Structure 1
Amino acid sequence: MMDWVLVGSSSNGIDLELQKSMLMERYDIPAVVINKKVSPYNLGVYELYVHEDHLETAQLAIKESMN
């Protein structure tokens, strides 16, 4: 995933899926949620990535949506 930047992480991933949908639908920003959990032990996190070209807009959109 060259040129993709981490913009958020979560232990359950539901909030990241909502953020991903918001970024794609409202702002037309490609986003990807990656599951980095280890299943048998429930360790790790989910991570949200956007392409570096959209980083600033994505960060502002996510911050705005939390208010």
Structure 2
Amino acid sequence: MEGWKLIGQSRTGIDLEMQKALLWERAEIRAVVMNKKLSAYDLGNWELYVHQDDEEEALNILKA
């Protein structure tokens, strides 16, 4: 995904969906949650991405 930065990972993805909603609610930052797990073996993670222009602001929001 060109221009998008990984800012979070999770085993379940539920927390990332909450973070995605928070980013939109606080600053209208668009975020994408992607399932990168191999379901047959339960390996891998869910990942949260934001556009590179919003990366710094998104990280500051999530740290607060």
**TM-score by shorter chain over 0.5:** yes
Percent of residue pairs bearing the same amino acid type: 55
Which residue in 1 is equivalent to 2:30?
30
* Secondary structure of 2:44 counterpart: coil
Shift of 1:56: 0.6
Q: Which segments of 5 or more consecutive residues in structure 1 lack a partner in the other structure? A: none
Amino acid corresponding to residue 34 of structure 1 in structure 2: M
Q: Which runs of 4+ in 1 moved over 4 A?
A: none
Amino acid corresponding to residue 28 of structure 1 in structure 2: E
Shift of 1:35: 0.2
Q: Count the aligned residue pairs.
A: 64
Structure ranking higher in helix proportion: 1
| TM-score using structure 2 length | 0.96
Which residue in 2 is equivalent to 1:5?
5
Shift of 1:6: 0.3
Shift of 1:26: 1.5
